[in-house]
Amino acid sequence: MWRRSKHKKVADDLLDLIEQAGREWYEREEQTKSRWHASQHLLDKASRQDLPIHVVVPVSRRTPQLNHKEKTALKLLDLTKEQILAADNIQYIKSAYRRKAKRHHPDKGDTSNKFIQINDAHSELLNWAESPRFRSRRALPNSWCYDASRKRWVPPA
Protein backbone atom coordinates (compact mmCIF):
# COMPACT_ATOMS: atom_id res chain seq x y z
CA MET A 1 0.00 0.00 0.00
CA TRP A 2 1.35 3.38 -0.97
CA ARG A 3 1.43 6.11 1.70
CA ARG A 4 1.47 9.88 1.42
CA SER A 5 4.55 11.81 2.50
CA LYS A 6 4.19 14.42 5.23
CA HIS A 7 5.98 17.31 3.55
CA LYS A 8 4.77 17.17 -0.05
CA LYS A 9 1.69 18.59 -1.71
CA VAL A 10 -1.11 16.21 -2.65
CA ALA A 11 -0.51 16.82 -6.36
CA ASP A 12 3.19 15.91 -6.01
CA ASP A 13 2.34 12.73 -4.09
CA LEU A 14 -0.20 11.78 -6.74
CA LEU A 15 2.36 12.33 -9.48
CA ASP A 16 4.85 10.11 -7.62
CA LEU A 17 2.18 7.42 -7.23
CA ILE A 18 1.35 7.51 -10.94
CA GLU A 19 5.02 7.32 -11.92
CA GLN A 20 5.69 4.46 -9.51
CA ALA A 21 2.64 2.53 -10.74
CA GLY A 22 3.71 3.15 -14.34
CA ARG A 23 7.21 1.81 -13.69
CA GLU A 24 5.77 -1.29 -11.98
CA TRP A 25 3.33 -1.85 -14.83
CA TYR A 26 6.05 -1.64 -17.50
CA GLU A 27 8.35 -3.96 -15.51
CA ARG A 28 5.55 -6.51 -15.11
CA GLU A 29 4.57 -6.18 -18.77
CA GLU A 30 8.19 -6.78 -19.79
CA GLN A 31 8.38 -9.88 -17.57
CA THR A 32 5.09 -11.46 -18.61
CA LYS A 33 4.75 -10.03 -22.14
CA SER A 34 1.09 -9.42 -21.31
CA ARG A 35 -0.59 -6.10 -20.73
CA TRP A 36 -3.54 -7.84 -19.08
CA HIS A 37 -1.32 -9.59 -16.51
CA ALA A 38 0.52 -6.34 -15.77
CA SER A 39 -2.77 -4.50 -15.21
CA GLN A 40 -4.20 -7.34 -13.13
CA HIS A 41 -1.07 -7.42 -10.97
CA LEU A 42 -1.38 -3.70 -10.18
CA LEU A 43 -5.10 -4.02 -9.45
CA ASP A 44 -4.52 -6.99 -7.14
CA LYS A 45 -1.74 -5.13 -5.35
CA ALA A 46 -3.85 -1.98 -4.89
CA SER A 47 -7.11 -3.65 -3.86
CA ARG A 48 -7.90 -3.77 -0.17
CA GLN A 49 -9.65 -6.76 1.35
CA ASP A 50 -10.00 -5.26 4.83
CA LEU A 51 -12.65 -2.70 3.81
CA PRO A 52 -16.26 -3.61 4.56
CA ILE A 53 -18.57 -3.49 1.54
CA HIS A 54 -20.78 -0.69 2.92
CA VAL A 55 -17.81 1.71 2.82
CA VAL A 56 -17.36 1.26 -0.92
CA VAL A 57 -20.92 0.72 -2.20
CA PRO A 58 -23.03 3.90 -2.27
CA VAL A 59 -26.05 4.12 -0.01
CA SER A 60 -29.27 4.46 -1.97
CA ARG A 61 -32.04 6.53 -0.43
CA ARG A 62 -35.51 6.70 -1.94
CA THR A 63 -37.90 9.47 -1.03
CA PRO A 64 -41.39 9.83 -2.45
CA GLN A 65 -41.68 12.36 -5.24
CA LEU A 66 -44.92 14.25 -4.73
CA ASN A 67 -46.28 17.13 -6.77
CA HIS A 68 -48.11 20.09 -5.25
CA LYS A 69 -51.57 18.47 -5.48
CA GLU A 70 -50.34 15.31 -3.76
CA LYS A 71 -48.66 17.29 -0.98
CA THR A 72 -51.84 19.26 -0.30
CA ALA A 73 -53.81 15.99 -0.40
CA LEU A 74 -51.52 14.61 2.33
CA LYS A 75 -52.17 17.67 4.49
CA LEU A 76 -55.89 17.61 3.81
CA LEU A 77 -56.24 13.96 4.85
CA ASP A 78 -53.79 14.35 7.77
CA LEU A 79 -51.42 11.68 6.45
CA THR A 80 -47.64 11.45 6.68
CA LYS A 81 -45.14 10.32 4.05
CA GLU A 82 -44.35 7.29 6.20
CA GLN A 83 -47.97 6.19 6.02
CA ILE A 84 -48.14 6.33 2.24
CA LEU A 85 -44.82 4.47 2.02
CA ALA A 86 -46.08 1.64 4.24
CA ALA A 87 -47.07 -1.72 2.78
CA ASP A 88 -50.73 -1.09 3.61
CA ASN A 89 -50.73 2.49 2.31
CA ILE A 90 -54.08 2.13 0.53
CA GLN A 91 -55.72 1.22 3.85
CA TYR A 92 -54.26 4.35 5.46
CA ILE A 93 -55.57 6.50 2.61
CA LYS A 94 -59.03 4.95 2.69
CA SER A 95 -59.42 5.21 6.46
CA ALA A 96 -58.25 8.85 6.45
CA TYR A 97 -60.74 9.56 3.66
CA ARG A 98 -63.61 7.92 5.56
CA ARG A 99 -62.75 9.81 8.74
CA LYS A 100 -62.69 13.19 6.94
CA ALA A 101 -65.72 12.39 4.74
CA LYS A 102 -67.86 11.59 7.78
CA ARG A 103 -67.00 14.94 9.31
CA HIS A 104 -67.50 17.09 6.17
CA HIS A 105 -70.26 15.25 4.26
CA PRO A 106 -73.00 17.53 2.82
CA ASP A 107 -75.70 15.29 4.34
CA LYS A 108 -74.25 16.11 7.77
CA GLY A 109 -74.95 19.78 7.16
CA ASP A 110 -71.52 20.95 6.00
CA THR A 111 -72.10 23.72 3.45
CA SER A 112 -68.45 24.28 2.51
CA ASN A 113 -66.91 22.57 -0.49
CA LYS A 114 -64.49 20.73 1.81
CA PHE A 115 -66.03 17.35 0.88
CA ILE A 116 -65.16 17.91 -2.80
CA GLN A 117 -61.57 18.74 -1.84
CA ILE A 118 -61.39 15.61 0.35
CA ASN A 119 -62.74 13.48 -2.51
CA ASP A 120 -60.17 14.93 -4.93
CA ALA A 121 -57.38 14.39 -2.38
CA HIS A 122 -58.48 10.78 -1.94
CA SER A 123 -58.35 10.09 -5.69
CA GLU A 124 -54.96 11.87 -6.04
CA LEU A 125 -53.35 9.77 -3.32
CA LEU A 126 -54.88 6.54 -4.59
CA ASN A 127 -53.47 7.27 -8.05
CA TRP A 128 -50.04 7.90 -6.52
CA ALA A 129 -50.25 4.71 -4.42
CA GLU A 130 -51.02 2.62 -7.51
CA SER A 131 -47.93 3.88 -9.35
CA PRO A 132 -45.64 5.65 -6.87
CA ARG A 133 -42.79 7.87 -8.04
CA PHE A 134 -39.57 8.13 -6.08
CA ARG A 135 -36.54 10.36 -6.08
CA SER A 136 -33.42 8.31 -5.46
CA ARG A 137 -30.07 9.54 -4.22
CA ARG A 138 -26.92 7.46 -4.11
CA ALA A 139 -23.89 8.52 -2.11
CA LEU A 140 -21.12 7.21 0.11
CA PRO A 141 -21.44 7.84 3.85
CA ASN A 142 -19.10 10.60 5.10
CA SER A 143 -17.34 10.90 1.75
CA TRP A 144 -17.74 12.70 -1.55
CA CYS A 145 -17.87 10.42 -4.58
CA TYR A 146 -18.02 10.81 -8.34
CA ASP A 147 -21.15 9.56 -10.10
CA ALA A 148 -19.91 8.68 -13.58
CA SER A 149 -23.39 8.07 -14.98
CA ARG A 150 -24.37 11.68 -14.23
CA LYS A 151 -20.85 13.09 -14.67
CA ARG A 152 -20.87 15.00 -11.39
CA TRP A 153 -19.64 14.85 -7.80
CA VAL A 154 -22.11 13.69 -5.16
CA PRO A 155 -22.00 15.04 -1.57
CA PRO A 156 -21.82 12.62 1.38
CA ALA A 157 -24.95 10.75 2.47
Domain ranges in the chain are 1-47, 52-65+135-157, 68-132
Answer yes or no: are the C-beta atoms of 36 and 29 closer than 8 Å.
Answer: no
CATH 1.10.287 for the 68-132 domain, yes or no: yes
How many angstroms from the chain centroid is the CA of residue 51?
22
Task: Dump pLDDT digits (tens) for 127-146.
Answer: 999 998 888 777 777 778 88
Sequence-ordered list of residues with C-beta below 8 angstroms from that of 54, at least 6 positions apart, any chain: 141
Beta strands in 43-131, from DSSP E residues, in sequence order: 59-64
Work out the average pLDDT over 93-117. Answer: 90
CB 119 within 8 A of CB 77: no
Q: How confident is the model at residue 28 (pLDDT cuts 50, 70, 90)?
A: very high
With 80 as the cut, is the pLDDT of residue 103 above it?
yes
